[in-house]
Structure 1
């Protein structure tokens, strides 16, 4: 059921809070309105747009060129990211296919204190090529032939079984229980136990890969809704990995053209005015030489779009403070460095020394404990290494950048909250529920739903799926369409 389309040329003021992918896509779509109805003002707490703020430019291995290292890495595929890919095509963003080799190893049980040389680094027990582009799999140097054969056969059997289960055994959805309460949907851990998926396969292969995608601990990954993971696995199956040529900075440049951004402005509150008279935004901005302290400002907007994580939404928008506290977030550390000792002896020497130009693959090393997976990514163009969830000691003198970012997690309970807020049966235009294409009903007080009082939420977490870039684009498209704006790329 779409939004009411109108040719009313009365201009509306819109504040977009946040300059990640969701905020920039939303602002871009508002500026593409064919009736030119929206004056868009964007607020960003940093001194630059956040989409590309953590990325760095480094020299290539030959010292002739430079390359952009995205932080975090933003690989995608056509299967799970149809709207992101369609947007890139519309904007003329160039992207290319990349090959990955994933090595799986175990973190030492007693840490790295006893490790003193590269030879003592953990040895991989398996090397997997993305989309199985190398058959048979590469045998790790320290792995005996028959051990490698048995591991390969075991993994193949488990992957086939897991794929069949994903296709024919759907996860359990939320359902009524005794007492009238709703029982949450099935978690990923519950789903795996119900299907008798082997524990070794889960701990050694499933969790390292999935936890690295979601940038979370193993326990947090097992608590994700099973439907999220199964949908992701099905839609991304056999889809080649893609990356933007030149880095996500190219996307940021396209989306920011002609955009007015207020940098160093930290929004402190968003308040709906009574009687539909707009939304008040209060923010702090740096002072000047005469008044060095931050200066509070406020302004009334017709619409406010919050493109920030749920913990930030709860801190500035009171009606959602309680519910946002039940959507978990985690602070993730990522380090860009040149300490190559962490990757010594990881892959098979024979493959590692092969001449793979002009398209060298990306090496991604998974080192797991029962609780977390350290992810080490070797950039194929430069000599830098990116480590997430660092557990291996890194020489401090070789650290280029250290970044902390907020990652939104999912649970069956938080999924119910998100589904209620973004229910497709409660589409709104100007803060009022839409019952059909023409007639509007009167809004009644109750729990906040997206668009109430002209306050909107967008972001990777603002849809029913894995918290990835596709959610940013989908949520931005939905808000744009609810405001009567035609999305110039693929419909969702």
Structure 2
């Protein structure tokens, strides 16, 4: 007798990397754990935008008739070798081509912004990339005034020597402060209390004190390093304002510093559109421009789920529902499902309430990404400009001069990427820049596109709530929490792991250990599929999707 085949219907809400990864895994061949039946997974992917979400904000610029379009990913998509092992393994399995992009950085501050012509962007530190092997460069502000005709040569030479000496001193201080950061980030020597500390608390805890620190200037140097390098770098990485960065759990930041030490940055060679195409190639039921407005028990079978879209279309018969969207977007939909449950489903109602309570702990911040050609957001001196240019403000927030919808508060770090020109791009056209979280807007006649995005920001409350979504199963032997083997947390499935109610699952960058980044999307999606949906259906993937 041939094995019985049954169909399991799964709805995925959201088509970012988490949703696409879940969809990709669910369309891979599966088999019964006991070999008595074959399983068929029918996947429906719902996306509110007219294009799949991971590529929805990207823009195309005409290059030349023969060269096609220049596709610019929005937001910037890069990944670090040491922090994204699952992303890299997935891309390799898919055949996605990616290349090293060891970005160089400039760190600068901007003067008062109210008058565009009078403001300045002054660079204080330049990092030449290549995991530090390319060293640092001297900002032009330390280069001294160019020699003028008739100027005393000795005075000119003294000015050059002074600038060089100051640069060497500052570089040595930065090197010591960076070494301190790495020393404290070594997992096996971290104190237990670090797991509950914020970055702000840690900065004060490890700051050099005492007579030697005062005499050598390291007390001041540490404060400068935190303010001009560490904070801007973390603010740019998390796309969060300074207060949120200082309230960020420090354990995750130190994990990031440790795991990325000596590793390379990568970008996909053919843009994120290639990733989307490969992940979605086997998805047959993709519903674009389909915003979900209500979730309810299936009227034919309360053990299943029905979804209603904004256009009135209703999709029914789902055994599982995967939220691959922001926590803030999932909460009202979970609320609608909870309110539509029958009075007899009290245990399921409580399980959904636990999910809502967990998700409410995660906070989001708006991020603005602008593609433009306005070079006034870059360092004034061309010699100071690098691939990524991080700029902080020199004024209080109450003096912001911000165009609504085009910039954020000055408590953010403004990060401008000088986009490399593609082959065939006309030489007479200006460079294109991508600025994330501008606190002054580019000139409106230079703007190519504006995108507003939402980004999860981790704090200690969210870190505690994360245990409901993701639990540590096995700690790495060397103690780095972000690399621990993890599984599904207690609120995952909304009771499906213990009874036969519909499975409601959560995935996304925030549903995994560490800083909310692309790695969390991939790992949380795999956990939901393998340990959640397939396990409760008595199924498993025929082949391991990838290994690290």
Q: TM-score, normalised by structure 1?
A: 0.82
1:167-209: CA deviations, max 9, x gaps? 15426469xxxxxxxxx82222222222226222111111111
Aligned to 2:372: 337
**Residue 56, structure 1, aligned to residue 67, structure 2:** no
1:48 deviates by 0.7
User: Of the two, which has the highest radius of gyration?
Assistant: 2
The secondary structure found in structure 2 opposite 1:317 is helix
Matches within 5 A, 1:327-406: 327-343=362-378, 345-348=380-383, 363-369=387-393, 371-381=411-421, 383-406=431-454
Counterpart CA distance in 2 for 1:142 and 1:65 is 41
1:328-352: CA deviations, max 9, x gaps? 0111111111112332534526xx7
Aligned to 2:153: none
Q: CA RMSD in A?
A: 2.9
Structure 1 contact 104–367 (Cα < 8 Å) conserved: yes
Counterpart CA distance in 1 for 2:236 and 2:488 is 34
Structure 2 contact 14–47 (Cα < 8 Å) conserved: yes
Aligned to 2:426: none
Question: More helix by proportion, 1 or 2?
Answer: 2
Unaligned runs of 5+ in 1: 1-6, 175-183, 286-293, 353-361, 435-441, 444-450
CA distance 1:61–1:466, change in 2 (3 Å): farther
**Residue 47, structure 1, aligned to residue 50, structure 2:** yes
Moved more, 49-58 or 366-375: 366-375
Aligned to 2:327: 310
**Which of residues 287, 290, 294 in structure 2 aligns to 1:269?**
294
CA distance 1:158–1:263, change in 2 (3 Å): same
The secondary structure found in structure 2 opposite 1:461 is helix
Counterpart CA distance in 2 for 1:311 and 1:479 is 19
Q: How many residues align?
A: 440
CA distance 1:310–1:394, change in 2 (3 Å): same
Structure 2 contact 469–490 (Cα < 8 Å) conserved: no
1:396-426: CA deviations, max 9, x gaps? 0110100001101111111111112333376
CA distance 1:430–1:210, change in 2 (3 Å): closer
Aligned to 1:359: none
Moved more, 476-485 or 455-464: 476-485
**Which of residues 79, 85, 90 in structure 1 aligns to 2:88?**
85
**Residue 123, structure 1, aligned to residue 122, structure 2:** yes
CA distance 1:135–1:92, change in 2 (3 Å): closer
Aligned to 1:475: 524
Aligned to 2:509: 460
CA distance 1:490–1:203, change in 2 (3 Å): same
Unaligned runs of 5+ in 2: 32-38, 143-162, 209-221, 336-352, 395-410, 423-430, 472-486
Counterpart CA distance in 2 for 1:430 and 1:217 is 33
Aligned to 1:32: 28
Aligned to 1:289: none
1:129 deviates by 1.9
The secondary structure found in structure 2 opposite 1:204 is helix
Structure 1 contact 276–453 (Cα < 8 Å) conserved: no
Q: TM-score, normalised by structure 2?
A: 0.74
CA distance 1:27–1:295, change in 2 (3 Å): same
